[in-house]
């Protein structure tokens, strides 16, 4: 009997309907799959039933990794490491579909590693990732809503994102205290070119530093009141940060880069 380790965020998915929903969210047949944090292998079994070409799994827990070795023997390739330390681009020879029921305490680092620092030659075909519901709500928030902010702007830059479903605590064992949501990410064919993603982080940090205040102060801080930028992007400084749509933030970042080049 395996005892779940809190420190590794071990809440294992046991709801068959949800497991079914996850593997039906994208094509698996004949695809190379990367599963992060397979745990006791519940989702792994469902993935295998769909006949993938190959499955890699990355599991940090030594005990669970040897368990998976016994359970799946030759069927999967187990990487017993911390996902944050693995270089996926070196590990994988072809584009993969990623499934991750990740521990919530590393979801921000994962987002930073996989999404913010994502190079244009995408290493994945799609990502199917579980997040704490509040985080997922911020990722997919539309402009003019209270959840819209840095996370929405940064995550939607190079990726199309769709919510598959919300998942209650009772789908897991042991039951977590929070609700979860499953999101599907696909690389965009076209996105606004920004030279350095750190600049997008900076521009959004300055604008959303005081999200209830008008745009005037952050705009002046970054652009020194440059009227040409305001006219070009049709920005009204009496609005608030949440009123500017995604593209305006990407274009503002380009203007910020132009100004400094
Ligand atoms: N996917 C399984 C399921 O749905 O039943 C387990 C999900 S559980 C929320 C998270 C899993 O990620 C655990 O198996 C845990 O040991 C593993 N894990 C935690 N931190 C990790 C890390 N940094 N790198 C790789 N795996 C990690």
Task: Report residues whose beta carbon is within 6 angstroms of any ligand 1 atom.
Answer: 8-13, 36-40, 42-43, 58-61, 64, 82-84, 101, 103, 106
Q: Are residues 34 and 122 in the same domain?
A: yes
Q: Is pLDDT of 53 > 80? A: yes
Q: Are residues 170 and 225 in the same domain?
A: no
Residue 39's region, left for phi above 0, alpha for psi from -120 to 50, else beta, is: left
Q: Are residues 107 and 229 in the same domain?
A: no
Q: Are residues 120 and 224 in the same domain?
A: no
Q: Are residues 178 and 202 in the same domain?
A: no
Range of the domain at 77: 6-187
CB count within 10 Å of CB 23 equals 19
Q: What is the mean pLDDT of residues 220-227?
A: 95
Out of 137, 168, 187, a domain closes at: 187
Q: Which residues make beta-bridge pairs with 160?
A: 186
Q: Is pLDDT of 1 > 80? A: no
Q: Are residues 205 and 158 in the same domain?
A: no
Q: Are residues 97 and 144 in the same domain?
A: yes
DSSP-derived pairing of the beta strands 180-187 and 54-58: unpaired
pLDDT in the model for residue 213: 93
Nearest CA owner, ligand 1 atom 12: 37
Q: Rounded to the nearest 5°, which phi and psi values hold at 124?
A: -130, 155
Q: Are residues 88 and 167 in the same domain?
A: yes
Q: CATH number, domain at 216? A: 1.10.8.100
How confident is the model over 107-159, as pLDDT tens digits? 888 888 888 878 878 999 999 999 999 999 999 999 999 999 999 999 999 99
Residue 38 covered by a domain: yes
pLDDT in the model for residue 169: 97
Q: Is pLDDT of 90 > 90? A: no
Structure tokens at 203: 């521009």
Residue 192 covered by a domain: no
**Quick one: what percent of the chain has pLDDT higher than 70?**
100
Structure tokens at 180: 């979860």
pLDDT in the model for residue 151: 94
Residue 117 covered by a domain: yes
CB count within 10 Å of CB 20 equals 12
User: How many domains does the chain divide into?
Assistant: 2
Q: Are residues 33 and 54 in the same domain?
A: yes
What is the pTM for the complete model shown? 0.94
């Amino acid at each position: 009997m395996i005892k779940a380790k809190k420190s590794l965020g071990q809440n294992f998915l046991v709801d068959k309907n949800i497991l079914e929903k996850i593997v039906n969210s994208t094509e698996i047949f004949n695809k190379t799959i990367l599963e992060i944090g397979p745990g006791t292998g519940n989702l792994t079994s469902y993935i295998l039933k769909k006949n993938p070409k190959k499955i890699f799994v990355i599991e940090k827990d030594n005990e669970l990794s040897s368990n998976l070795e016994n359970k799946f023997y030759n069927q999967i390739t187990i990487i017993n490491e911390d996902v944050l330390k693995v270089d996926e681009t070196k590990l994988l020879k072809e584009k993969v579909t990623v499934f991750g029921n990740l521990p919530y305490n590393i979801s921000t680092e994962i987002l930073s590693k996989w999404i913010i620092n994502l190079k244009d030659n995408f290493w994945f075909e799609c990502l199917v990732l579980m997040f704490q519901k509040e985080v997922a709500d911020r990722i997919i928030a539309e402009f003019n809503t209270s959840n819209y902010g840095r996370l929405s702007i940064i995550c939607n830059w190079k990726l199309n994102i769709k919510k598959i479903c919300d998942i209650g605590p009772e789908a897991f064992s042991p039951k977590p205290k929070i609700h979860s949501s499953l999101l599907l990410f696909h690389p965009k064919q076209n996105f606004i070119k920004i030279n350095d993603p750190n600049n997008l982080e900076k521009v959004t940090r300055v604008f959303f530093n005081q999200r209830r205040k008008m745009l005037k102060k952050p705009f002046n801080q970054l652009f020194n009141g440059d009227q040409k930028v305001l006219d070009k992007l049709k920005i009204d400084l009496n609005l608030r940060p949440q009123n500017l749509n995604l593209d305006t933030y990407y274009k503002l970042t380009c203007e910020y880069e132009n100004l400094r080049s």
